[in-house]
Amino acid sequence: MNRVLEVENEISELRNQLQNHKLYNSLKSIDDIKVFMEYHVFAIWSFALLLNNLQINMTEVRTSSISLEKSTDSVLINETVLEEEIETNKVSQTQSHFEIYLDAMRQADARTNEINNFIKLIQFNNSVNYSLNKTNIDKRVADFVKFSFSVTKTNKPHLIASALIFGQEEVIPGMFIEILRNVDSENKYYNKLKYYLQGHIDLDIDKQRPLSIKIVSEICNNNQQKWDETITIAKQSLEKRIALWDAINHLVQKEKFYA
């Protein structure tokens, strides 16, 4: 059996749980989307953390010399990082995936104070765990980020790649676009968020998914132990994502109750 298909089969039950999570039925309005974004932005940051650490572990970015002979996996990860970190925003400016998401949050008037505080703490060379503990977010959201950070600390590319590739959500962008069409049919008020979401869909379908499969296949190759560990981290990543969705669903419902 194809090794990637084996991983997909092993995680299929967890993926089904994620794709059919009750959170999706809770997101009915732009106000619900705002609450979701305020916590989901930490998952977007975690994605960037995993991606950048995968690049560090697979390429020569820490050295001043440039090798003329690069392995296929190094080329693949560099291409993936370029796709994520060098994007063109709605007004043709170059921004990262994370920065475009933050811009969309600001336009939608979603609260960004906690993610901004977290980023400032990180920029002052504080650890991820310390910065999360000093940030006023739900513990379950912080736990999701801490898990991603713990995976990067292994410095094992196949584990980082597994968390990056198999632990991501797939349903959100399309569903959000439908809600935004209903509340902003003329695309005046939330065009940055629509732009981000559509770009996310196009990039994932056309490039990210195929590249990701190639990356994990190159890293693990015929090493059975690596494939087994890849499955373990894939399952843990999905379990953490489901726990994050549980937390965000609770927070969305709480916001509705007090609205």
- What pLDDT, on the 0 to 100 scale, is given for residue 67? 39
List the one residue out of 106, 108, 213, 109 whose CA is nearest residue 164: 213
List the one residue out of 10, 34, 8 whose CA is nearest residue 170: 8
Q: Tell me the two tokens of residue 216.
A: 């994990």
d(CA 18, CA 194): 23
The runs of H, that is alpha helices, within 69-187 are 72-85, 97-107, 113-123, 128-133, 139-152, 157-166, 172-183
Q: Indicate the pLDDT class of residue 66, thresholds 50, 70 and 90.
A: very low
Q: Which residue has the tokens 């690596």?
A: 226
d(CA 33, CA 108): 9
CATH of domain 23-58+70-258: 1.20.910.10
Segment 104-146, tens digit of pLDDT: 889 889 999 999 999 999 999 999 999 999 999 999 999 999 9
Residue 181 has pLDDT above 70, yes or no: yes
For the chain, give the mean pLDDT.
81
- What pLDDT, on the 0 to 100 scale, is given for residue 170? 63
Q: Residue 215 in 3-state DSSP?
A: helix
Q: Which residue has the tokens 């190159």?
A: 218
Under DSSP, the state recorded for 90 is: T
